[in-house]
Amino acid sequence: MKKITLLFSLILLSNYSSFGQEVSPEIPTPNYQLASKFSPKKISKLVHSTSVTPNWLKNGNRFWYQYKTTEGSNYYIVDADKRTRTKLFDNAKMAKWLSEITKDPYDAKHLPRFNFKFVKNETAIRFRVTSKEKVEVVDEKKETLKTKDTTSIKQKTKKKTPKMTNKVYHFEYKLGGNGLTIIDNKKENRKWKAWANISPDSTIVLFSKNFNLYWMDKENFLKALKNEKDSTIVENQWTKDGVEHFGYGSESRGENNETKDKKKGERKNIHGFWSHDSKKFVFQKTDSRHIKDLWVINSISKKRPTLETYKYHMAGEKEYYKREILIFDIASKEVNKVKLDTTVQQDLFIYRAPRKKSSWSDEFKPSLLLSKKGKIYFNTTSRDKKKINICVADINTGDVKTLIKEALNTYVEVKPLVLLNNEQELLHWSERDGWAHFYLYDNNGTLKHQVTSGEYHVNKYTNFDEKERVLYFTANGVTKNQDPYYEHLFRINLNGTGLKNINPGNYNTSTSMSDSNKYFVSNYSRVNTVPKSELRSSTGAVIMNLEEADLSQLMATGYKFPEPFKMKADDGITDIYGVMYKPFDFDKTKTYPLLEYVYPGPWTEYVNKSFSVKMDKLDRMAQVGFIVVTLGNRGGHPARSKWYHNYGYGNLRDYALADKKYVAEQLADQHSYIDINKVGIYGHSGGGSMSTTAMLVYPDFFKVAVSSAGNHDNSIYNSWWSETHHGIQEEKDAYGNSKYKYAIDNNQSLAGNLKGQLMLITGDIDNNVHPGATIRMANALIKANKRFDFMLMPGKRHGFGNMNEYWFWLKADHFSKHFLGKKAMSVDITEMNRDKPLKN
C-alpha cells in the first residue's frame, strides 16, 4: 500500500504543472537535414516548368512553347484561331534522328533544350546540337587568307597540333516532316551582338570604339560576322570628341585596371534609338567626368589584386550628370542637338516604340523611337524627382515643346508614354489623384479626359485596339475582396466605359498578349496553389487549358504550401498582407521562434503572391525550426495607393519597422506556437539595412538578425535611390542658383543600442551597395564595444552567386545557435559536403 501511495505522489509531483506551475513548451531541434532537402540544386530536380512562356509567331495567332515535367520536356505549337495545340515534333522520332546523325545516344525524355528559329515562312525550324565528336577548329582568318595566297600560307605556317572542339550540327526540320536536314556545321556567332547596333533596314551598323562613334556598311559587317579580326574590314570614324566618361558608347563599369587596358580599342555597343526609316540615330550623351570616383578591390583575382574604378554619384553631392540628346543624320553625317538647357540638374529619358511580341526572336532588335513621324518624345525629371515634363522635339531642327507637366510634393513616378490614333493622341500614366491611372491627351498636350479612375492601381499598358478603341492594361486592387497585390489583365474603352477583368479569379496572374490583341496566355496561381496556364480571348473567354505544373515529386518530399494572412498595420487601420512558412514537420505542441524576412520597398516588398520554387530565403529557412513570415509595410509596394507607397518619404531608415513589429505581435496573439520572445529578422540590400535598424530601434523586441549587403549609410549609396525615396531639398539663392541639401539617419548612429545577436555580411567588390556601408557599421559597433559577427564574401558583388549556399548555412547557423540553443560544431558544413562527389 505504501508503494502505491508513493507512486501516486510521484505522479502528482510530475504533473504539478496542472495545478498552477507551467511547463515550458518544447522548442524544436534544428533540422538541418530537412533544410538540406530543399536547396536550389535539389529543387531543380523536383520542380520544372511552372508557367508557359509563349513565343508568338508572325503569321497568324500562333505561338510555340516548351514545358518540362518529371517526364521530360515537350515542345508545342498553338494555333489560337483553330483552337489547336500540337507537338512541334514527336520526341521519340527526334531522338532517333539525332542519334542516327550525330552518333550520340538520345532518348525521348532526355532531349537537349532547343533554341528554335522559325524559317521558310514559319513552316520549318532550325536549331543547333553539339555532339561529343571532336573535330579540328577552323581558323576563319586562315580560311580567308587561303583564298588569296594558298602557297604563302603553306610556307609560313608551321605544323602544329591542331586545336580540337566538339562538332556542331545546324539542323532544319520541316514541321510535320519525317527527318532532319543538316544546314551546316558552324557554331552560332554571338560575338557581334555585344557591339553591333544594326539599323532597321540593315544597311549600316553603328558601334563605339575608343569612346567615339564608328560605322560600317553591310558588306563590311558581313566580313566581321565571318571573322571579326579580318584586316580588310573598313571602319569609319564618325565622331572625334569622345573621351572617357563623356563619350559615345559603353562605359567601363565592371572592368578592372587590367581588363580595361586589355579591352582598349575593342568594338563596343552604343545604345540609342533609330528613326523607323533608318535615316536618323538619336543618342543620349552623358558627361560624368566631374562625378567622383568610387573603387572596389578584388583580392582574389588571378595574379595580383585588381582595382575597379567607376563613377558613382552619392546623395547630396553638388555635382550631377550633364545630359544632352544628339541627332545623327545617316546620309549627311551631320550631328545636331536637341535644344535643352544642359546646366539644369535633371534626368532625361527618351521614349521608345514598344516591341511586337513576335519580334523577340528576331536576329537583331533595333530600338526605335516612339514616333514614326520625325519626332523625339522624351521626359525630363528634376533632380529632386518632384517634377517631370513630357516633351517632344523635332528630329530635323531639335526644337522642343513641353506637352505635359507633373508636380508632386514627394516624387513623380514615370511610365512609358503611348501614342494612339496615328499619333494624334497621347496616353499618359499618372498618380496625380492618389492612384495610378491613364489620362488621354491630344498631341498638343491638351487633356481630353481621364480614361481609368477609382481606388485601384493601373500597373502598365499592354496593347491597344485602334479599330475598336479598346485599351488593354494590367492593374491591382480592382476587385475589393481580393489581395490587392494580385495582378489581372483588363480592357476598357478609351472613353472610360466598359471596364472588364478578362482573366478573373482569386489568383495572381502574369500574361502575354498577341500582337493582334485577340488572345493572351494567362499564368495563374497563389502561393498555396498549383500553377496553371490557359489561353484566353480578348473578351476573357477561355480558349483552352494549356498546362498544370507537375508538383508530384515536390509533394513526395513532404512539402506543404505556405499560408497567406492579413493583419493590421501599426495604425490599426491599414491592411497588411503577408505569407507564413512553417516547418514541414511542424508540431503544434512546440513553440517556434519567429523570423521575419524583410525588404522595406519602396519598389517591392518581396512578399510572394504566386507559387515559387525559389525557396532558399523562406520555405527552406523554416525547415531549420522556425516560423518564417514575409509581410508588407506602409511605404512599400507601389501596387497600393500613392499614399501607401510614399508613406516612408523623408524617413527612409525607420518607416517600415513599426508595422513589422506590430504584425509579429498579432501573429503571436493568434498562434500559441509562436514565441514572441524570440523574434529574429533578416534581409538583403535594403532588407540588410532594415534588419540591422530593427535590432537598434527595437532592441528588446528583435533579438537576432542577419544583415547582408545592407545600405546602412545611405549617404554613400547612389543618389537616385536615396534622393528619390527619402527626398532632397532644393534651395535657391538670390540669383536663382540651386543648391541641394540632403540629410538622412544612418544605422551606425544607433550602434550603442545593440542588445541582440547581429551578423553582418557583404561582398568585397559590391559596386552597387558599396562594402564601405557594412564596414562603417562594423566600425561603429566596435567603437561602442559591441560583440557581433562579420563575414566578407570574397570576390562577390551585390549578389553572392556561387556562395549563396554557404550564405544560407551561415544564416541557419546564426539563428540556430541563438534561438534553438544548438551550435554547429563541425568545421565542415556537412549538408553542403554530403552530396559533393569526392575527387582525387
Domain that holds residue 496: 434-549
Q: How many CB atoms lie within 10 A of CB 825?
A: 5
- Give the residue from 382, 414, 446 where a domain finishes: 414
pTM beyond cutoff 0.85: yes
* Alpha-carbon span 334 to 312, nearest angstrom: 33
Q: Are residues 629 and 773 in the same domain?
A: yes
* Alpha-carbon span 221 to 203, nearest angstrom: 9
Q: Are residues 467 and 517 in the same domain?
A: yes
Position 762 in a domain: yes
Beta strands in 503-562 (DSSP E): 508-513, 519-525, 532-537, 542-548
> How much is the average pLDDT of 782-786?
98
pLDDT in tens, 242-254: 999 999 987 777 7
Q: Are residues 409 and 326 in the same domain?
A: yes
Residue found under cell 529578422: 681
Which residue, 527, 755, 759, 566, is CA-closest to 659? Answer: 566
Structurally, the chain folds into a number of domains equal to 4
* Alpha-carbon span 458 to 437, nearest angstrom: 5
pLDDT in tens, 164-187: 999 999 999 999 999 999 999 988
- Give the residue from 510, 528, 549 where a domain finishes: 549
Q: Are residues 453 and 339 in the same domain?
A: no
- List beta partners, residue 68: 73
Position 233 in a domain: yes
Residue found under cell 504550401: 561
How many Å from the N-terminal Cα to the C-terminal Cα in the chain? 71
Band (pLDDT 50/70/90 cuts) for residue 20 is: very low
CATH of the domain at 660: 3.40.50.1820
DSSP type of residue 569: -
Q: Are residues 178 and 207 in the same domain?
A: no
Position 109 in a domain: yes
Task: Check whether 1 has a pLDDT greater than 50.
Answer: no
Q: Are residues 451 and 384 in the same domain?
A: no
Position 797 in a domain: yes
Q: Are residues 544 and 569 in the same domain?
A: no
Please tell me the predicted confidence (pLDDT) of residue 56.
Answer: 97
Q: Are residues 359 and 262 in the same domain?
A: yes
Task: Check whether 142 has a pLDDT greater than 70.
Answer: no
* Alpha-carbon span 611 to 459, nearest angstrom: 21
* Alpha-carbon span 214 to 228, nearest angstrom: 15
Please tell me the predicted confidence (pLDDT) of residue 22.
Answer: 55
Please tell me the predicted confidence (pLDDT) of residue 717.
Answer: 93
What grid cell was written down for 463? 496593347
- Let me know: does 209 contact 248? Beta carbons within 8 Å: no
DSSP 259-312: HHHHTTT--B----EE-TTSSEEEEEEEE-TTSPEEEEEETTSSSS-EEEEEE-
Residue 665 φ then ψ, to 5°: -65, -40
Q: Are residues 462 and 375 in the same domain?
A: no
Report the DSSP pairing between strands 322-329 and 335-337.
antiparallel
Position 17 in a domain: no
Band (pLDDT 50/70/90 cuts) for residue 5 is: very low
Position 621 in a domain: yes
pLDDT in tens, 592-607: 999 999 998 888 889 9
Q: Are residues 464 and 355 in the same domain?
A: no
DSSP type of residue 239: -
* Alpha-carbon span 342 to 325, nearest angstrom: 10
CATH of the domain at 443: 2.120.10.30
Please tell me the predicted confidence (pLDDT) of residue 254.
Answer: 78
Report the DSSP pairing between strands 729-732 and 738-741.
antiparallel
Position 126 in a domain: yes
Q: Are residues 170 and 305 in the same domain?
A: no
- Give the residue from 349, 380, 414 where a domain finishes: 414
The percentage of residues in the chain with a pLDDT greater than 90, rounded to a whole number, is 81
Q: Are residues 281 and 390 in the same domain?
A: yes
Position 721 in a domain: no
CATH of the domain at 408: 2.140.10.30
